[in-house]
Amino acid sequence: MAGFTLLTTKITDESKMKKIVILISGRGSNMEAILNANLPVAIAAVISNEPDAKGLATAQARNIPTAVVPHRAFTNREDFDGVLAMEINRYQPDFIVLAGFMRVLTEEFAERYSGRMINIHPSLLPSFPGLHTHQRALEAGVRVHGCTVHFVTPGVDIGPIIVQAVVPVPAGVDEDTLATRVLAEEHRIYPQAVRWLCEGRVQLVDGAVVYDRIAPACGGVISPALDE
């Protein structure tokens, strides 16, 4: 009888958790950061557009359902997005988390999940949307760089910003080193953003991000440092 009671309690607790589906295209390091954070969320599935994405094996090792919707099997984005949406909806998630998902989504797809889909981008948006962000940041001579979690809206990397992390760009740093430093910050802020989303502490309301019980940032960053 005690065993039955414990099982019932577990099911009840899990039923209260928000469910997320994670979309990946490769190794899924941000996905793994989310899994390692032990968030109070249910990972309903991990879906990839690449059949050989290494992140699928990571999810499977943790007994998380996986699926593949290969984009090369479709002649246009609309058909791919339609099948992808059908696969996502099978799991009835509350939110969709893009974690290195390397496909440009159609306007219809973005609007379908408006306020329920987030992405992480390796730059301080709105600077350097798209690809090759670290190389472009170095070429531009920026003194700070970083990463951004944002809601997904129609258009590439232009959705309302949830949280950002800043890293300095010292003289002489190379692209690989900068990328590594930014990735470490991605792994720190993305699980936090997912937690906020699933706890109802951040929402998209009338196109703007609204926070609840999240302390505002204090202080600032100056780079290079000023003389004393």
We report the CATH number of the domain holding residue 123 as 3.40.50.170
Tell me the sheet residues that pair with 90. none
pLDDT band per the 50, 70, 90 thresholds, residue 221 = confident
Q: Of 71, 121, 145, 150, which residue is the catalytic one? A: 121
Q: What does the pLDDT average to over 85-114?
A: 98
Per-residue pLDDT reduced to its tens digit, 180-203: 999 999 999 999 999 999 999 999
Q: What is the pLDDT of residue 11?
A: 36
**For residue 126, what are the domain limits?**
18-211
Q: Is residue 40 a part of any domain in this protein?
A: yes
Q: Is residue 228 a part of any domain in this protein?
A: no
Q: Is residue 13 a part of any domain in this protein?
A: no
Q: What is the pLDDT of residue 217?
A: 82
Instruction: Please state, in angstroms and rounded to a whole number, the distance separating the CA atoms of residues 48 and 64.
Output: 13
Q: What is the pLDDT of residue 6?
A: 33
Q: Is residue 31 a part of any domain in this protein?
A: yes
Number of structural domains the chain divides into: 1
Average pLDDT, the chain: 92
Contact predicate 116/158, CB 8 Å: no
Q: Is 121 a catalytic residue?
A: yes
Percent pLDDT > 70 in the chain is 93
Q: What is the pLDDT of residue 69?
A: 98
Q: What is the pLDDT of residue 226?
A: 82
Q: Is residue 11 a part of any domain in this protein?
A: no
Q: Is residue 223 a part of any domain in this protein?
A: no
Per-residue pLDDT reduced to its tens digit, 139-176: 999 999 999 999 999 999 999 999 999 999 999 999 99
